[in-house]
Amino acid sequence: MSYYHSRMLDISFEDAIERATNALKREGFGVLTEIDVTATFKKKLNIDFRPYRILGACNPKFAHKALTLEDKVGTMLPCNVIVQKLPDGRVEVAAVDPIASMSSIDNPSLGDIAVEVNEKLQRVIESL
């Protein structure tokens, strides 16, 4: 089982971030965090790394449901979406598969939530 959904795009890195952010909004997600991995590696390790951004997306309705059912599920939130520029110039956008990540939690009640969130994240990726 794959742990992510992805799509390759022939657009700029910044345009891909904007498209992903807008697609997430359409599915009820907000971007709570944005980690610029490239800048962090340069600052902390003095390493040049390809453009790579992690968007920490959250759908409050589903986060609330999940936290009500399992208080430690917050260790797996928010739902991460990555945007990275590949060596061939294309940009990849990938989102976590919550079904794969939630399968490690022994709480069957989370399954329905994971399925719904997964469907939303798949639509995000497909809409790009």
> Under a CB-based contact definition with an 8 Å cutoff, are residues 110 and 14 in contact?
no
On the question of pLDDT at 116 being above 70, the answer is yes
Question: What is the enclosing helix (H) or strand (E) of 71?
Answer: none
- pLDDT at position 87 is 96
Q: Is 118 exposed, middle or buried (0-12, 13-18, 19+ CB in 10 A)?
A: buried
End-to-end C-alpha distance for the chain, whole angstroms: 23
Return the CATH architecture of domain 4-127: 2-Layer Sandwich (3.30)
- pLDDT at position 12 is 97
Which residues on neighbouring strands pair with residue 92, listed in sequence order?
Answer: 8, 84
- Length of the chain in residues, anyone? 128
Considering the chain, what percentage of its residues have pLDDT values greater than 90?
93
The backbone torsions φ and ψ at residue 23, rounded to the nearest 5 degrees and listed phi first, read: -65, -40
On the question of pLDDT at 92 being above 80, the answer is yes
Confidence bin at 1 (pLDDT 50/70/90): low
Q: What is the pLDDT of residues 10-57, one digit of tens each?
A: 999 999 999 999 999 999 999 999 999 999 999 999 999 999 999 999
- pLDDT at position 13 is 98
> Under a CB-based contact definition with an 8 Å cutoff, are residues 77 and 57 in contact?
no
Q: pTM value?
A: 0.94
